[in-house]
Amino acid sequence: MKIGLAKNAELQFGFRYAIVFLPLIKIIAKQAQIKALHIDKLESLAEALLDFKGMEDLEAWLRENVI
């Protein structure tokens, strides 16, 4: 019975870890992409940001504009 409880606790920890840290990892990855932009692309992103409604818009812009 103790083994089952320990495994359940591990699963709960893993689930909590995923909820908290996976979005942060995605943000850090986006940050690295943005830092690597050439100044022309950075200026273009600055203009585009005014129209963004959420993170999905940033992700789409990066897909379209980052080589």
State the DSSP code for 51: T
Question: 61: Cβ–Cβ under 8 A, 6 or more apart, which residues?
Answer: 45, 48, 52
Amino acid present at 10 = E
Residue, of 26 and 41, whose pLDDT is higher: 41
Q: What's the sign of the alpha-carbon dihedral 30, 31, 33, 37?
A: positive
37 three-state secondary structure: coil
Residue 1's pLDDT band, with cuts at 50, 70 and 90, is very low
- Considering the chain, what is the average pLDDT of its residues? 82
What was the pLDDT predicted at 43?
93
**pTM (2 decimals)?**
0.62
Q: How many angstroms separate the CA atoms of 63 and 59, rounded?
A: 6
